[in-house]
Amino acid sequence: MPKDQKPRRPKAETPKGFRDYFGAEVTERGAMLARIAEVYRHYGFDALETSAVETVEALGKFLPDVDRPNEGVFAWQEEDRDWLALRYDLTAPLARVYAQHRAQLPTPYRRYAMGPVWRNEKPGPGRYRQFYQCDADTVGTPTVAADAEICRMLCDALETLGIARRDYVVRINNRKVLNGVMEAAGVLDPADPDRFMHERGIVLRAIDKLDRLGTEGVRALLGEGRKDESGDYTKGARLSEEQAQVVLGFVEARGATGAETLRNLTDLCGQTQTGAVGIGELTQMAELLEAGAYGTDRILLDPATVRGLGYYTGPVFEAELTFEILGEDGKPRQFGSVAGGGRYDDLVKRFTGEAVPATGVSIGVDRLLAALRAKGQVAHEEPGPVVVTVMDRDRMADTFAIVADLRNAGIRAEAYLGNPKSFGAQMKYADRRRAPFAIIEGSDEKARGVVQVKDLVAGAQAAQTASLEEWKDRPAQQEVTRADLVAHLQRLLAK
C-alpha cells in the first residue's frame, strides 16, 4: 500500500515519441490487420508470434540507418547476463525462429506476423517510436516464384483493403542488377567483394532517397557529398563523374514498357555475370506475374526502386499509393510507399552457417491507415452505445434490467454510472459517447409502464443546456411502452 508522496506527483505523460490510440483508431487497425491476415492465410501462410524482446545478439544490426550501428534499438542488460532489446522489425525475429526451430518447420516455411516494433529514433511530427508491421515471408526456397507469389499477395491485400486497382503500384527490381551496375561502374570487384563495400552502401542509400533528393541530390551523394537544408553534411561515395553517370543511368533506365526497361538494363550491365542473373530473375518474375494477370496496371519494373536495407540479395519490391492526399500544409501530395520487401538470402545463415534463402514483404499498417483516412475511406469515429439514463439511484436494478434487455437483443448499451443528480450532465455524457439514443425511465414513466426514447443524432445541438423537461418536449423524443422498447430501438437502429 504505497504512500502518497505529497511533494511531487508523477507526470501523466506518454514517453516522447509514443502515443495512445483511442476507440476507432484501435478497432480500425485491428480490422485492417485481420483482413490482411485473412489474405496471407488464404495464400497458405501460417501465423507466428514472437515476443517483443530478443537478445541483442540474435537481433543483429540490420537497421536501415547503418551509419549509427549502435543506435536504433531500445536495449538493456539483464543482471549479469545477456543484453536484451525490443525488436525493431519482424524479419530479424523470423530469421532467429527459423534457425531455432527449422527441424520442426516445413520447408519452405511460409509465415505471417503482425504486431508493434520499436525504433529508438529521434521522434518527429507523425513519426513514432512504436508502430505496427504486418509481414509475410517465405523461408527456405531460392525460386523467384516465391517472390512473385508475395507480390501477387501484396496486390490482393491492398485491394482487399479497398485500394482500387489504379490507386497503387508495386514497383519491382533486383539487387543483382544493381550489383551488376556497380561492377560495370567499377565499385564492385567480384574477386574481392568486400572492397568498396562502404561506398556501395552510400550509393544504395542515395538511390533509395531519389524521391526526396532528386537526381542532383543523388549525384552529389555519389560524388563528394551533400549538405541538407538543416545544414547537416552527408559524406558522399566519392565516385568519379564517369562512375556516377553509370549509376545514374541505371536509376533512369525505366523504359516505356517492361521489355524496354529490360533491354536498357541489359545494355547497362548484361555483360557482368551478376547483372545477367539479376536481369534473368527480373524477367522470370515479370513473366510469372503477367501470366497470372498481375500485369503493368499493378506491377512495374523500376530500376530506381532499390530499398534502403543492406541485407537484400535479389528481388526487391515496394508498394506505392498513387493517389494524392492533402498534406499537413494543405497542399496535395503523393502518399508514397506503404509496403516493401525483398529477398534476403543471408539472414538465417548468420545463425546456422548454411545458406537459407528467404523473401518477404512488410506492410506499414499505420501509414496505410493514415492514407485511407486522408482519402475518407476509413471512418474517424464509431457510433457509441445506447445510454440508459438514471432517474433514481435506488432503482439501479431497473436501469440494469433495461440495459440487459437491449444487450440481449444485440444492441450495444450502457447505464449512466456517473452522479445522476444533473440530467444535463447525463445528456452531455451521452453526447460525448456519441450515443445514438438515450432512454429515460423516470418514476412516473415506470408507473405508467413506458419509457422515453431520445434521438440524440437529431437533437445533438441542444444537448449542452437542455433540462429534462425541455428534452421531453423535443420532437426527436418518443414515448413507447417498456415492452415495445427493444423492438422500437431495433427499428430505429436498422434505418
How far apart are CB 412 and its own copies at their closest, in Å?
5
- Per-residue cell: 427: 445528456
Site for its own copies in 466-495 (CB under 8 A): none
Quickly list DSSP for 85-104.
EE-SSSHHHHHHHHHHHTTT
Ligand-binding site membership of 344 (annotated) = no
From residue 419, give the alpha-carbon distance in Å to each of 390, 401, 464: 9, 19, 17
Cell numbers representing residue 5 in the block: 508522496
What is the Cα–Cα distance from 101 to 105, expressed in whole angstroms?
A: 6
Which of 107, 422, 464, 490 touches its own copies by CB under 8 A?
A: 107
User: How many residues belong to the site for its own copies (CB under 8 A)?
Assistant: 108
Interface with its own copies, residue 197, by CB under 8 A: yes
- Which residue type occupies 414? E
Angle among Cα 191, 195, 200 to the nearest 5 degrees reads 115
- Interface of this chain with its own copies, residues 111 to 140, rule: CB under 8 A: 116, 118, 129-130, 138, 140
User: Which letter, b or e, does each residue of 253-265 get, where b requires 16 or more Cβ atoms within 10 Å of its Cβ?
Assistant: bbeeebeebbebb
- φ/ψ of residue 149, rounded to 5: -60, -45
Report yes or no: 314 and 177 within 8 Å, Cβ to Cβ. Answer: no
Q: Which of 251, 368, 413, 453 binds its own copies (CB under 8 A)?
A: 413
Nearer CB in complex with its own copies: 123/336: 123
CB 146 within 8 A of CB 359: yes
The reply on whether position 433 binds its own copies by CB under 8 A is yes
SS3 25: helix
- Residue 51 near residue 94 (C-beta atoms within 8 A): no
The answer to the question of residue 379 lying near its own copies (CB under 8 A) is no
57 binds its own copies (CB under 8 A): yes
Interaction of residue 192 with its own copies, rule CB under 8 A: no
* Touching its own copies, residues 225-264 (CB under 8 A): none
Q: In this chain, which of 110, 226, 307, 454 binds its own copies, going by CB under 8 A?
A: 110
Q: Which is nearer to its own copies, 86 or 221 (CB)?
A: 86
**Is residue 355 at the binding interface for its own copies, with CB under 8 A as the rule?**
no
Candidates 60-68, 251-259, 316-324, 361-369: pick the segment binding its own copies (CB under 8 A).
60-68
Could you tell me the smallest distance in angstroms from the CB atom of residue 327 to its own copies? 26
Q: What DSSP element (H or E) covers 261?
A: helix 258-269
Query: Which residue reads 483493403 in cell numbers?
Result: 161
| Structure letter (DSSP) for residue 61 | S
CA dist., res. 190 & res. 180, Å (int): 10
Computed on alpha carbons and rounded to an integer, the radius of gyration of the chain in Å comes to 29
Applying the rule CB under 8 A, the residues between 278 and 317 that interact with its own copies are: 287-288, 291-292, 310-311
* 316's grid cell: 526487391
Of residues 14 through 43, those in contact with its own copies by CB under 8 A are 14-16, 18-23, 25-27, 30, 34, 41-43
CB 288 to its own copies: min, Å:
6
Between CA 365 and CA 384 the distance in angstroms is 25
326 near its own copies, judged by CB under 8 A? no
Residue 311 assigned as binding residue: yes
Instruction: Say how far residue 180 (Cα) sits from the centre of its chain.
Output: 32
The reply, when asked if residue 43 is annotated as ligand binding, is no
| Residue partners of 173: CB distance under 8 A and separation at least 6 | 282, 301, 302, 303, 304, 305, 306, 315, 316, 317
Query: Which helix (H) or strand (E) segment is 408 a member of?
Result: helix 396-408
Question: At its nearest, how many Å lie between its own copies and the CB of residue 385?
Answer: 4
Cβ at position 287, least distance to its own copies in Å: 7
| DSSP assignments along 142-161, one per residue | --HHHHHHHHHHHHHHHHHT
Q: Is 1 in the site for its own copies (CB under 8 A)?
A: yes
Q: Which three cell numbers stand for residue 453?
A: 426514447
| Cβ neighbours around 178 below 10 Å, total | 27
Pairing status of strand 83-86 against strand 53-55: antiparallel
Note whether 50 binds its own copies by CB under 8 A: yes
90 is an annotated ligand-binding site residue? yes
Q: Which stretch, 78-86, 265-273, 328-336, 476-484, contacts its own copies (CB under 8 A)?
A: 78-86
Residue placing its CB nearer to its own copies in the complex, 59 or 321: 59
CA distance 190 to 179: 10
Site for its own copies in 265-284 (CB under 8 A): none
Site for its own copies contains 96 (CB under 8 A): yes
Residue 218 pairs with which residues in a beta bridge? Answer: none
Q: Is 389 known as a binding-site position?
A: no
Q: Is 254 annotated as a binding residue?
A: no
Backbone angles phi, psi at 349, to 5 degrees: -55, -30
CB of 333 to its own copies, least distance (A): 28
Residue 43 or 323: the one with the smaller Cβ distance to its own copies is 43
Is there a binding annotation on residue 100? no
397 binds its own copies (CB under 8 A): yes
Smallest distance, Å, CB 264 to its own copies?
25
Among 65, 68, 101, 421, binds its own copies (CB under 8 A): 101
Contact between 422 and its own copies (CB under 8 A)? no
Q: Tell which one of 65, 67, 68, 106 touches its own copies (CB under 8 A).
A: 106
Nearer to its own copies (CB atom), residue 59 or residue 319: 59
Compute the least distance from the CB of residue 214 to its own copies, in Å. 25
Q: Quick one: cell of 473? A: 418536449
Known binding-site positions = 89-91, 119, 133, 137, 307, 311-312
Known binding-site positions for L-histidine = 89-91, 119, 133, 137, 307, 311-312
